[in-house]
Amino acid sequence: MASTEIAAFAGQTRLPLGSEEELGGPPQSVAPVQRADRISSLDVLRGFALLGILMLNIDDFAGPEFFHDIPIGLPKPAFVGSHAHLNLAIVFLKWVFFEGKMRALFSMLFGAGIILLTSRAEKRGAGLKVADIYVRRNMWLCALGLFHGTFLWHGDILFGYGLCALLLMFPFRVLKPKTLLIAGTLIAVGLGTYNVVNFTGTYDDIRLSRQAAIITADQQAGKHVSADRKQLQQRWQAKIVEKAVTKAKIDSAVAEAHEAYATNLLRSESGRAGLGYGKWSFASFYDREIGDTMGAMLIGMALFKSGFFTAELSYAAYWVTAIVGFMISAPIYVMGIWKIYLSGFSFLAVEKWAYAPYELARIPGALAIAAVMLIVIKSRTFRFPLRPLAAVGQTALSNYLLTTVICQTLFLWGPWKLYGKLEYYQYIYVVIAVWTVNLIVSAIWLRAFEFGPVEWVWRSLTYWKLQPVRVRA
């Protein structure tokens, strides 16, 4: 597929493949990219990932969440009644095709954006100016993330992205693709798995449960059990009580979410309404961002440098990536969710079968999905449907914040107060409605404006100069 054709489906002309996205202008200058210089494959992937993220975030927007993206503890139980099998099918589909993968793909594209931001300016002789732009860009992203996470929704990712890029990513831009890929994989899978297991307490819970089972077996066999071993058994019983999902806990979570905005805003810990960075710390940054985000960003850098994200590889390369990626990730999640279902959704089964292998399946699954999308892009079979996706990707920051405002208004702030009132399968209706708004509004907006509204503010602050916002003739 010719390089100019990759951009053509989005109604754009562009520089040859490999042209960078974020900085344009004459030699020895730094300025924001013009629309003609954008790489449409990146915009499509970014738009797809952004929409896909809502498929998981809706669980937190819409009701209490006692287990990460497992619908246990809803006021309207998901696995009881006539829709139980439908809800179970939705859980399977979400974990196989969306869970973690959309966020991983979004992080990879952020990493690719770092290369785009820095390489063009360096090639044009901008020198240290690129570091100045890079720092300001990510400082403002941190500020925007703090605003989003404090005043709108606790599930913000912008602050973590900005801080990770600001503190860690800049020196890696000069490494070779192979080095970036190896480092990113080791961090994402190795360190990421350790952080997930440590953060969720999975390893300690599994070990404690096994010790308690041995002690119980000894007691049943009439063997003497020491006081220390009985304490371990009591700790396990206390853990079961702590993790148990009860009606009282569900009612409390719903009531807390429906408290006044100011009450949630001032709470020292993040409420279920999702306000505040009350428990944020550099320790949580290490747990959440180093393995989860940094590893994926490094992989994204490698994929951009190698031509993967710009659709320059062969069809065979993308097919192999898709098949191998799904062969690794899909069985892990299918078996895991089935084991969890058979256990009656016990917290230990969730930790053992969903959390422990989480990173092993996340990255291969994200690469598989990206490969499938790039096959579609290269084939030009669905040019028209991809244009709205590209528009969402081009205005991803605005759409991310718009999605938060729409969902918080629907579930908490507006007159409907839908938090905790929908059946699990009905979440999908809200997702589709928000997607429709994202796709339509983005396409209409870009007919008149160069950037999304938040992108325009971000770029103006980054370059410390108001950017032209109207589409040029």
Confidence at residue 199, expressed as pLDDT on a 0 to 100 scale = 82
The residue with tokens 């993206």 is 69
| Among 4-18, 113-127, 387-401, the least confident range | 4-18
At position 80, the amino acid (one-letter code) is V
Q: Give mean pLDDT, residues 436-441.
A: 98
Confidence at residue 22, expressed as pLDDT on a 0 to 100 scale = 40
Query: Would the pLDDT of 114 be above 50?
Result: yes
**What is the distance in angstroms between the CA of the first residue and the CA of the last residue of the chain?**
28
Percent of the chain with pLDDT over 90: 74
pLDDT band with cut points at 50, 70 and 90 for residue 124:
confident
CB within 8 A of 19, min separation 6: which ones?
A: 37, 39, 120
Which pLDDT tens digit goes with each residue over 443-463? Answer: 999 999 999 999 999 999 998
Query: Would the pLDDT of 470 be above 50?
Result: yes
| Among 121-130, 246-255, 417-426, the least confident range | 121-130
Which pLDDT tens digit goes with each residue over 245-270? Answer: 999 999 999 999 999 888 888 764 44
Confidence at residue 287, expressed as pLDDT on a 0 to 100 scale = 60
The residue with tokens 């991809």 is 386
Confidence at residue 18, expressed as pLDDT on a 0 to 100 scale = 32
Percent of the chain with pLDDT over 70: 86
